[in-house]
Structure 1
Amino acid sequence: MVKVVPNEAQEEAITTIEGPVLISAGPGTGKTATLVNRYANMVTNHGINPENILMATFTEKAAKEIVTRISSLIPDFDLNDVYIGTFHSICLRIVRDNLAFIPNLKKSFTLMDDFDQKYFIYQNFNYGFGKQPHFNALPFGNRGIWDKSSILADFLNGLAEEQINPSELLMDTDPQIVALGEAKLFYDELLEKNNRLDFATIQATAFELLNNNSEVLAEYQSLFQYMMIDEYQDTNAIQERLIFLLSKTKNICVVGDDDQSMYRFRGATIRNILEFTSKFPTETCKEITLTTNYRSAPEIIGFYNKWMTDYSEEFFDWDKFRIEKHIVPSEDKNYKSLTPPVLKVYGDTLEKWAERVRDFLLRLMENGDITNYNQVAFLFRSVSNNNAKFLANYLEENGIPIYSPRSKMFFERAEIKAVIGIMLHLFSDYEEKILEDDAEWFHDMVKYYESCLDISFEIMDEDSDLEEWVSYRMKELSNLKGNTDYAFTRLLYQLFTFDYFKEIIDTDLSSGVADQRAIRNLAILTNIFAKFESIERVEVISSEKKVNTLNKLFRTYFRFLMQGGIEEYQDESEYAPSGCVSFMTIHQSKGMEFPIVITDSLYDIPRKDNTTLLNEVYNQYSDRNNFEPEDEIKYFDFWRRYYVAFSRAEDLLVLTTPIKETGQSQAPSKSFSTAWNEIADYHEKNWSFEEFNFKPVKSSNLKQSYAFTSDISKYERCSIEYKIFRELGFSEIRIGSTLFGSLVHQTIEDVHDAILRNETESIETNLENWFENNYQGLALSEHSYLAPNSKAAAMRYVKNYFENSREMWENIRESEVRLSYPMKDFILNGCIDMLKGKGDTVEIVDFKTGDKPTSMTDEMLQSYEKQLQVYAHLVEEKYGVEVSKMKLYYLSEADNPIISFDKDVKKIEEMMVEFADVVHKIEANDYSTRTSDPSHCAECDLRYYCKRSSPIK
């Protein structure tokens, strides 16, 4: 941990506010604390408004940590309108806030994750991309269609992030480059047609918006007076362009460590940090280097210093491609122990190695050297490697729990196999055909489905009710004529009523993450089925499309998911789950620290990155050219990767491997051999760890965010529902009323935006077009449609508001007002549809699409009042104004649509206390209450689990 009083270099970084600054921060040197204190200094001592500081982090978790720590340093820290987040989240916010200026993107666009993007490409591969004239020239090799889709996704992302104009590629003489241009143009058409963005095009869209619209750019340049960019060594070309485009003042502070650059495969370039100072006039950019390490034992620091200098000299020369530095231990770490803090543990065979690792861990625990297995982290290049999987299984079989969410074991878990087996068995005629498929490419899937069926049959043998339900559904689906009234996700929720699954759903969330794995996996599985239904537009199961739909699910979708790997649940609220040894990738461990780090993957060797075609395109069609020597890049990346691994250790670093002296996957490889030979051998002496003081892993202490509508109201209505859908993230099945309300709200928001742009006269002309665009966007994103009479009713609501409520527009100040306020141990969030008023007095207006209550004692109306009272408090805190009225506007009412409330200070105080009480119940995992309103249960997906509906019906 960083000392409370900053050291000299940290103090210089904290107090240097104006002008460009490069903070080169080695591992464990207090980078985050320095950033947080610099931000607090700017706000508290220099009077800089938080909204004028853009702080970009590498991960959302890092952003949460920074917000948590800043809010503890700054009393009454105003979170409203602050820009602290990843580049992707900041760019997404800029895009959402300026959709009116982006002609090819509609509201409710779908944001695709990595798998979504690849599956989207796969869906259009043969009859879309494959029809492009030069497509067969692309270097796919002898690969399957899914691997080709993945490779194509990488190509398309690279072109987007380097902002290559695809039309220019069409004129090239190389057919491969022409093929890339054709593919990118076709892909861009697909994105526009389907109203989608992927992660690469978020940044490209934001850049194009700013670059092509001088008024929007000027607004953000005026807003972002100061910039702080974390992990600058892992930024890519478009992120650097965004930074320099947005900054007019050049008050840019970048923080990073070139030695910890690991994301070249995502487009990151080390040149951004190495050349940062050269972007400014000579000697105008201040360079500050943090080298005092408060994390690691001196011997560990000495080891990884040597790794970057002496051990690397055998293979390559860093030359100018590294900022020279020497990390030194802090004074309080200058102690000597008889047992070396850097050791090696190994075995002559895989089995012997696993046995010795187990004995090492057991000895640490039995001797009381550690009190919790989470004090130990294993770091691998890949946790899905056979060695890592073997070790994880061996340790778990011998009583040492493992936390390894990225091990690609999701589809091997019993609860997942049980669901897939039952789902396949429901379609008995299809099941028979798929098991008889003897195609070589499908052999592994047949074996997998057989193992799923074995588990499902065992469960059915023990539960006659489940067996009866399966038999009932099997006959229904076998004799299906026409359509069912359900799809796969609804079947899944019916399964949850039976003993095997109900026992999992009943899991107490106060238990450890290892005990929660099954319920968390079921939550992920509901989202997998829901996503399939969305992307393949499966609303019901029809006799006409049944076989085709099942083929897409069992032959394609599941197979591709297994190839790509599904990550299991990762708990952000815990730094490392209690009671478990963490198995992590080295990339995953970035920014973390553990008392004991055990580094494996010593079979690893420097490998050349296979991005030759993209590099050719970059060299010819962008201002990016080869920076580091191509022959040296594989060494640079390899050495940086293991520098990160070694520097995670606080008190004990262990290198481990099953010895393999020759042949492929030699371990340790030649790259590690010199270091390996110099490390003390744990097996030679009976080393004691009594002198070591292995502290508990640090607490996460992230402030979580809670909102009235999606948290407080939902929890108070039914805590079981809250547990399943909010806390665990099970997928809710969409219903038409959700689409209806969203459509009306979005179109009214368009009306308000036009008023705020002083374009009131254009509303009548554009109203129907806005409505239809919103409908198309929502229908695509929510995979839901309105009946013609419902759609017409929604339009009537909008027109009625436009034609009869002009007095509501008077003095409109802002629409869709985001509110955020830090409480003592959580963050309070909300959103108001409209804020209106002049001077220091405002009114809050919230629009409702439901029926107007006939009584002021209506339970829902009372809940709305609570919400508005809390919002009144947040508005007054944010704007320093007085809220005079709070209004509900019922769009279904033509004559008397408004219900008004007066602000009540006493009620606000009561609500804030009640709010905090509910949050504390949520954080205590108190899910003991459920709704008594049968009408609420009627459409709830949990009605089967709660026994509020029979699953047979």
Structure 2
Amino acid sequence: MKLNKSQKEAVEHIDGPMLIIAGPGSGKTRTLVERVVNMVKNKGISPDKILISTFTERAARELITRITSRLKDENIYMNSLYIGTIHSICLRIIDENIEYSLLKKGYKVLETIDQKFFIFSKLKYFKEILGYNEFFIKNSYMNSWKQGEILLKWFNKLSEEGIEETILKENINLKISFLGEAFEKYKKMLLQENKLDFSMIQLEAFRILKENSIALENIQNKINYIMIDEYQDTNTIQEKLIFLIGNKFKNICVVGDDDQGIYRFRGATIKNILQFESKFQNECKVVKLETNYRSEKSIVSFCKAWIDSLYWDGFRHEKNLIVPEEKDNDEAKVVRLSVSESENTWQERIGEFLKFLKNTGKIKDYNQVAFLFRSVKNKKIVSLAHYLEYKGIGVYSPRSNLFFYRDEIKEIIGIFLYVLIREDNKVFKTEYKLDIVDYYKNCLNILEKKIRKDLDYFNQLEKLKIEYENLKDGKNGLLELFYEVLALKGMESFIKNDSEGVLENRKLYNIGIFSKIVEKADILSRSSKITEENIIKITDYFFLMHLKFLKQNGVDEYEDIKEFAPKGAVSFLTIHQSKGLEFPVVIVGSLESSPEKERDKDEEIEEIFLKNDSFEPEYRIKEFDFWRLYYTAFSRAKDLLVLSCVEISKGKREVPSPAFKRVYEMLPDIISKEVNLDKLNISETNDVQLMDAFSCTSHYLKYVNCPFKYKMNKIFEFKGLRTPSTFFGNLVHQSLEFINKEYLNGEKISLEDVEKNYLNDYENLKISQGIKLPEKIVEAGLEQVKRYLKDGFEFYKNISYVEKELHILKEDYTIEGKLDLVIEKEGELIVVDFKTGDMEKSLENLEDYKFQIKFYCCLLQKNTDKKVKGGVIYFVKDGSKIDVDFNNNEVEDILKKFDEIIKKIQNQKFTERTQNKKKCLNCEFKKYCFSVNMI
């Protein structure tokens, strides 16, 4: 399909600022792809001069897949392109300028759950600040978890809008000054532990560039062209960062649709896109993409009527949405499906409608249908999902808060309770009248019913229970118990599943998620071993704090970045989740909603943020956001849009609400004569084009060593046991990187510098990994690093690259690798790979190590004009070396060998097992494999 006039205009305008207003389905991604292709292929702009920000990682991967596919015959590699979400780009900025950061190497980014745990664990320090009680005076009934959640909300908001705590601290209002003091203390506590939360990523990147002219000049000279997708959902600090980087050349292109600005609750401001043009004094080009290639004419007309029905008072870009000729018909493709008063009848009608679509061949698969709601955790929505599953219609709803109610999770928690709980534990004490206790009793009941029918299962459990009642040498944390549980007979049915797809493997994905929960508990409890002395303390923490907190807050089930609509299931999504997606049939619920004012809104504190973003009239914000939210929902539909609800007449709360009533009543019911279902053609769900990346160490070698272990660790994301040797290896590698980078930058370093850096790295890793090494091991590592400084000059005095990232584009995947060190001698490059183990003990892995070096040589040779001579395997412990020769003629054979393994991974060939029994003995799955006779 050729570019239309507007798309072509956007593609060809390269220099200077440009605003692209892209309506739904208007070919925005294709336009961005062709714009980058034009820049690189026709204008000769190097990829490393371009920065592209997308809203999601899925969008970034789709974009890079399509760009590289278009350029695959041009011998142009896009690995140097700055592309990703704003947060991932900011992390790259921090990593590249770590010397200017408040953070240190090895810092940890807290996920939302980690952040909640962190704030809760530090709540006593916030209580010491003047104004704490006044801050929570309206919510004095709240427990500590909830108070921590409220602090988290305000801290994130302050970070996203770039509001300095010093301004708040000086406020005469005690609540506001408390918030300022608390935010300052929070940031200091994070830095002390070398952590930052998700919202602070962009704030730290901005601070680095704002306060360090060298770092700013470097990135301004490097990045000449900026493209920001979904600009309507950027926040204040993101806009400041974009303009700071792009200020030198002003080649800033932003793309978005103000009608789809739906992330204000995360700090996004519609002001950014509506005022973008005015920031350039008539220099900004504006292009509007107004042809909707996604949806049928009646759907586009309905969306336009919805958004135009509100008086926007200038707070919106005017658009003239049209459809191409092939979609220009007057068939009714927007309908309603509803009942009066009865929820049961509503469920039945929806089930019958879906069965009709499937049985008549209107749809080939249920994944062509998506339900969109404001929340999928609502009891009515969860009940609908259960009803459809009962009727044989699969439902994919990973954010419905059902994780802890899945049978496999209840059974595993039941096993943990059965094995760990002792008389001295507090979990079932009468004074602990908690909902979580009832849940735990239910988990035990489910387990006990199962083991009563299976004597072998019962005997295995009893044996494991006795083991934990008589701890002699201790156990390596709760994660070791997790892997012992996997070896029980009752778990075999969950793991022995060779099906493909997210839905078919939901149980195994959930067990993988539970392994992460257990690992996190081990880290937070800061006990690398379970002993007779600490088992009560650890288990009480796990059940009465860790799991309790997660159950209260909810844990999402697995979502595949590629398989957004699994086969065999309708999708239940929030409207926010559906952003950027499209479905042939969309059923929109939550029609009882209305643009109501927030309950329990703290107007005193909100006033801070209104002053910071004084743009739209405050009294209209809820109304504007409501219309944008449902416009986004309606515009996801390609072939059929259905509005559905249980109608409630006057006298009770009206459903649909007054906001929907006018448009809703104008729609024909799906069984009315106005709707001709015979003429309804429903397209199939499009596959997302995403190119996977594979590396030698994380993929090739892991698979070669054991396909089963690869499947469990890489596909289902089971967490590996934390070991001192892995910790030690990371610690030494970081120190070697420090030495090499200092020499690369022309700095001279002393033994004292190396020791200080090493010990700082140790303290940071100790906190993030929850492991403490014996003092003699720490000292041994330091001696190794010092020896490298003294004797490794042949390496670090000939440095070309440190931690060099390289890529090769294949037909359907990308090869990637990170090289520890590349040195140059007599015009030839040599790859150096550091190993922290004993050379003699490593000999059994020598062939793997040699292949790894040769593979790195291939990557390097494909990305340089210089000759690659070979590599060196350097054993840090004693300074011994193994040289590996490399011949350029080996490149194709090595890449072919790599490709054969990757094809097996892509084709889900995981039935093979390792033949190396020694490796089995050090594997976390050994007891499972022994129990099912795999070894």
Considering the TM-score relative to the shorter chain, is it more than 0.5? yes
Residue 656 of structure 1: aligned partner = 644
Contact 1:297 1:329 in 2 (8 A): yes
Matches within 5 A, 1:449-488: 449-478=440-469, 484-488=474-478
Matches within 5 A, 1:205-604: 205-247=204-246, 248-281=248-281, 283-310=282-309, 312=310, 317-337=311-331, 340-430=333-423, 434-435=427-428, 437=430, 442=434, 444-478=435-469, 484-510=474-500, 512-604=501-593
Of 59, 64, 83, 1:62 maps to 59
3-state SS of paired residue (2:382): helix
3-state SS of paired residue (2:928): coil
Residue 612 of structure 1: aligned partner = 603
Alpha-carbon displacement from aligned partner over 1:321-366 (angstroms, at most 9, x marks no partner) = 11111211111211343x5443333353110000000000001111
Alpha-carbon displacement from aligned partner over 1:623-671 (angstroms, at most 9, x marks no partner) = x232111111111111000000000000100000112224665321111
Contact 1:378 1:599 in 2 (8 A): yes
3-state SS of paired residue (1:944): helix
Of 700, 706, 723, 1:718 maps to 706
Deviation at 1:492, TM superposition (A): 1.3
Contact 1:29 1:293 in 2 (8 A): yes
Alpha-carbon displacement from aligned partner over 1:473-504 (angstroms, at most 9, x marks no partner) = 33444466x77223222111111122331111
Asked whether 1:124 is paired with 2:122, we answer: yes
Q: 1:741 to 1:306 in 2, by over 3 A?
A: same
Residue 853 of structure 2: aligned partner = 868
Of 849, 869, 872, 2:836 maps to 849
Alpha-carbon displacement from aligned partner over 1:291-315 (angstroms, at most 9, x marks no partner) = 00000010001001000113x3xxx
RMSD: 2.0
Residue 668 of structure 2: aligned partner = 680
Residue 871 of structure 2: aligned partner = 886
Deviation at 1:538, TM superposition (A): 2.9
Deviation at 1:692, TM superposition (A): 2.1
Asked whether 1:817 is paired with 2:804, we answer: yes
* CA distance in structure 1 between the partners assigned to 2:650 and 2:510 by the alignment: 40
Contact 1:112 1:197 in 2 (8 A): yes
Contact 1:719 1:928 in 2 (8 A): yes
* CA distance in structure 2 between the partners assigned to 1:828 and 1:664 by the alignment: 61
3-state SS of paired residue (1:434): coil
Q: 1:17 to 1:887 in 2, by over 3 A?
A: same
Deviation at 1:461, TM superposition (A): 2.2
TM-score, length basis structure 2: 0.96
Residue 107 of structure 1: aligned partner = 105
Residue 919 of structure 1: aligned partner = 902
* CA distance in structure 2 between the partners assigned to 1:949 and 1:296 by the alignment: 52
Alpha-carbon displacement from aligned partner over 1:736-778 (angstroms, at most 9, x marks no partner) = 1111111111101110111122112x33330100110111111
Range with bigger deviation, 175-184 or 777-786: 777-786
Q: 1:931 to 1:479 in 2, by over 3 A?
A: closer
Alpha-carbon displacement from aligned partner over 1:217-241 (angstroms, at most 9, x marks no partner) = 1000001100000000000000000
3-state SS of paired residue (1:559): helix
Q: 1:343 to 1:109 in 2, by over 3 A?
A: same
Deviation at 1:507, TM superposition (A): 1.2
Deviation at 1:583, TM superposition (A): 0.5
Contact 2:371 2:572 in 1 (8 A): yes
* CA distance in structure 2 between the partners assigned to 1:605 and 1:398 by the alignment: 32
Matches within 5 A, 1:165-180: 165-180=164-179
Q: 1:745 to 1:657 in 2, by over 3 A?
A: same
Deviation at 1:542, TM superposition (A): 3.4
* CA distance in structure 2 between the partners assigned to 1:426 and 1:655 by the alignment: 50
Deviation at 1:912, TM superposition (A): 0.8
* CA distance in structure 1 between the partners assigned to 2:89 and 2:576 by the alignment: 23
* CA distance in structure 2 between the partners assigned to 1:118 and 1:749 by the alignment: 33
* CA distance in structure 1 between the partners assigned to 2:437 and 2:651 by the alignment: 33
3-state SS of paired residue (1:405): coil
* CA distance in structure 1 between the partners assigned to 2:536 and 2:272 by the alignment: 52
Alpha-carbon displacement from aligned partner over 1:234-262 (angstroms, at most 9, x marks no partner) = 00000000001111100000000000001
Of 38, 49, 52, 1:52 maps to 49
Q: 1:112 to 1:449 in 2, by over 3 A?
A: same
* CA distance in structure 1 between the partners assigned to 2:381 and 2:727 by the alignment: 46
TM-score, length basis structure 1: 0.94
Asked whether 1:135 is paired with 2:128, we answer: no
Q: 1:614 to 1:74 in 2, by over 3 A?
A: farther
Contact 1:944 1:950 in 2 (8 A): no
3-state SS of paired residue (1:830): strand
Deviation at 1:556, TM superposition (A): 1.9
Deviation at 1:804, TM superposition (A): 1.1
Range with bigger deviation, 483-492 or 47-56: 483-492
Question: 2:237 is aligned with what amino acid?
Answer: I
Range with bigger deviation, 873-882 or 35-44: 873-882
Question: 1:109 is aligned with what amino acid?
Answer: Y
Deviation at 1:589, TM superposition (A): 0.5
Q: 1:938 to 1:341 in 2, by over 3 A?
A: same
Question: 2:511 is aligned with what amino acid?
Answer: L
Q: 1:435 to 1:186 in 2, by over 3 A?
A: same
Deviation at 1:84, TM superposition (A): 0.4
Residue 9 of structure 2: aligned partner = 12
* CA distance in structure 1 between the partners assigned to 2:826 and 2:160 by the alignment: 45
Range with bigger deviation, 194-203 or 659-668: 659-668
Alpha-carbon displacement from aligned partner over 1:526-583 (angstroms, at most 9, x marks no partner) = 0011111112213233344333332322222222212221111112222410111111
Range with bigger deviation, 546-555 or 418-427: 546-555
Once the two structures are aligned, what percentage of the paired residues are identical? 38
3-state SS of paired residue (1:917): helix
Asked whether 1:78 is paired with 2:77, we answer: yes
* CA distance in structure 2 between the partners assigned to 1:779 and 1:271 by the alignment: 44
3-state SS of paired residue (2:320): coil
Alpha-carbon displacement from aligned partner over 1:687-745 (angstroms, at most 9, x marks no partner) = 55232221110012311111100100000000011000111101111101111111111
Residue 768 of structure 2: aligned partner = 781
Deviation at 1:431, TM superposition (A): 9.4
Q: 1:297 to 1:861 in 2, by over 3 A?
A: same
Aligned pair count reads 927
Q: 1:859 to 1:678 in 2, by over 3 A?
A: same
Q: 1:445 to 1:911 in 2, by over 3 A?
A: same
3-state SS of paired residue (2:585): strand
Q: 1:430 to 1:9 in 2, by over 3 A?
A: farther
Q: 1:520 to 1:696 in 2, by over 3 A?
A: same
Asked whether 1:27 is paired with 2:24, we answer: yes
Of 882, 900, 904, 1:899 maps to 882
3-state SS of paired residue (1:287): strand
Contact 2:394 2:569 in 1 (8 A): yes
3-state SS of paired residue (2:697): helix
Range with bigger deviation, 542-551 or 803-812: 542-551
Residue 934 of structure 1: aligned partner = 917
Question: 1:65 is aligned with what amino acid?
Answer: E
Where do 5+ consecutive residues of structure 2 fail to align?
none
Q: 1:572 to 1:203 in 2, by over 3 A?
A: same
3-state SS of paired residue (2:523): helix
